[in-house]
Amino acid sequence: MNNQFVWVDIPVADLDRAIGFYSSVLGAAISKEGGPGFSFGLLPHATTNVSGCLFVPDASNAPSSTGPLVYLNASGRLKDAVQAVRASGGTVLEDIHPIGPHGFRAIFLDTEGNRIALHAPTH
């Protein structure tokens, strides 16, 4: 196994709104998928990349601004992604800033109330 994380579920209150928000922020289409009785927004990924989905949870899991901090790849488009957060109804909590030798990040609240980070190796 090359990745410590293998999947991320991001809880949302409104799946269609969240799909639009994250499609804008990530600059890539998020597909709405599912089966009988369930649907989710599949985050963009390649065959070997770690990925995740947007899903509407039951009462045991809700959007949160205080839970684990998930970092999404914004390599090559960090400034555009932060602008998209603002333009799409999110709130930038920490604008782009260096994180030592590990690159740059920005932290935002999405339209659902989740605290999420954007990461890029260069500014």
Q: pLDDT of 37-80, one tens digit each?
A: 899 999 998 777 888 999 999 888 889 998 889 999 999 999 99
Q: pLDDT of 77-93, one tens digit each?
A: 999 999 999 999 999 99
Residues 34, 18: Cα–Cα separation, whole Å: 16
| Domain 7-120: assigned CATH number | 3.10.180.10
Burial (CB count <10 Å: 0-12, 13-18, 19+), residue 17: middle
Name the token pair of 34.
């599912």
Residues 29, 19: Cα–Cα separation, whole Å: 8
What are the φ and ψ backbone dihedral angles of 5, each rounded to 5 degrees?
Answer: -95, 140
Q: Domain ranges in the chain?
A: 7-120
